[in-house]
Amino acid sequence: MVDLITLARLDSRVSATPSHMCPGFTLERELLLGIGKFQLLEEAIVSTFETVFGRCPPPPGGSFLSGSTMVSWLAPREWLLTGEDAQVQTMIEQIEDVAECALAMDVSHARAAILVTGSHARDALAAMTSLDISDTVFRAGDVARASFGDVAMFLARLSDQAGIPRFRMIIDQTMAAYAVRILGETTLAAGASA
Partner 1 sequence: MSGSRTHSGGLIDRSRPLTFRWAGRRYSGYAGDTLASALLANGISTIGRSFKYHRRRGLMAAGLEEPNGIVQLELGAATIPNMKATQIELYEAMVANPVNAWPSLTFDVMSIVSWAKRFIPAAFYYKTFMWPNWRFYEPWVRKAAGLGFAPKGPDPDSYDHRFAHVDTLVVGSGAAGLAAAEAVADAGNSVMLVEADAELGGGLLAMNDPVEGRAASDWRASLVGGLRQRPNVRVMSRTMAFGFYDHGLVALCERLTDHLPLAERRGPRQRLWKVRCGRVILATGAFERPIAFSGNDVPGVMLASAAQTYSLRFGALPGRQIVVVTNNDSGYGAAFALADSGAEIVAIVDSRSHSGVVAEHAASRSIRVIPASVPLSATGRRRIKALVVAPLAALRRRETLRCDTVLTAGGWNPAVHLHSQSGGALVFDEAMQAFLPDKPTQDAISVGAAAGVFDMAAAIGSARSAAGREGAGAVAPFAVGPVHALADGDPAGQTTWLDFQNDVTVADVQLGVRESFRSVEHLKRYTTLGMATDQGKTSNVPAIRTLSNLLGKPPQAIGTTKFRPPFDPVTIGGFAGRSVGDDLMPLARMSAHDALVAAGATMEAYGGWLRPACFKKPGETEAMAIAREVLAVRNSVGLFEASPLGKIEVKGPDAAEFLQRMYVNTVHGLKIGRCRYGLMLNEHGVVYDDGVFARIADNHFLVGTTSGHAAAIADTFNEWLQCEWADLKVMVENVTTGWAVMNLAGPRARDILREVGTDIDLSAGAFPHMAYREGHVGGVKARIERVSFTGELSYEVAVPWRYGAALWDACTEAGREHGITPFGIEALMVMRVEKGFLHVGSDTDGTTYPQDVGFASMMERKTDDFVGRRSTMRPVGRRDDRRQLVGLEVDDEGGVLEIGSHVLPADAVEARGTEGWVTSSVMSPMLQRPLAMALIARGFSRTGERVRVWHLGAWRSARIVDPRFYDPSGERLGG
User: Which C-beta is closer to partner 1: that of 35 or that of 143?
Assistant: 35
Give the nearest distance from C-beta 70 to partner 1 in angstroms.
20
Surface-to-core class of residue 42, CB atoms within 10 Å of its CB (0-12 exposed, 13-18 middle, 19+ buried): exposed
Percent helix, strand, coil in the chain, to 5, is 30, 40, 35
User: Which C-beta is closer to partner 1: that of 3 or that of 54?
Assistant: 3
Give the nearest distance from C-beta 156 to partner 1 in angstroms.
18
> 115 by DSSP, 3-state: which?
strand
Give the nearest distance from C-beta 42 to partner 1 in angstroms.
8
Give the nearest distance from C-beta 78 to partner 1 in angstroms.
9
Q: Residue 95 — left, alpha, or beta (φ > 0 → left; ψ -120 to 50 → alpha)? A: alpha
User: Which C-beta is closer to partner 1: that of 64 or that of 178?
Assistant: 178
User: Which C-beta is closer to partner 1: that of 4 or that of 86?
Assistant: 4
Report CA torsion sign: 35, 40, 42, 43: negative
Give the nearest distance from C-beta 134 to partner 1 in angstroms.
6
User: Which positions touch partner 1 (CB under 8 A)?
Assistant: 1-5, 7-8, 11, 13-14, 37, 39, 41, 77, 101-103, 105, 107, 109-110, 123, 126-132, 134, 137, 149-151, 172-175, 177-178, 181-182, 185-187, 189-192, 194
Q: What is the CA radius of gyration of the chain?
A: 18
Q: Name residues whose C-beta falls within 8 Å of residue 26's C-beta, 6 or more positions apart in sequence.
A: 19, 20, 115, 116, 117, 118
User: Which C-beta is closer to partner 1: that of 17 or that of 54?
Assistant: 17
| Closest by CA position to 125, among listed 182, 61, 190 | 182
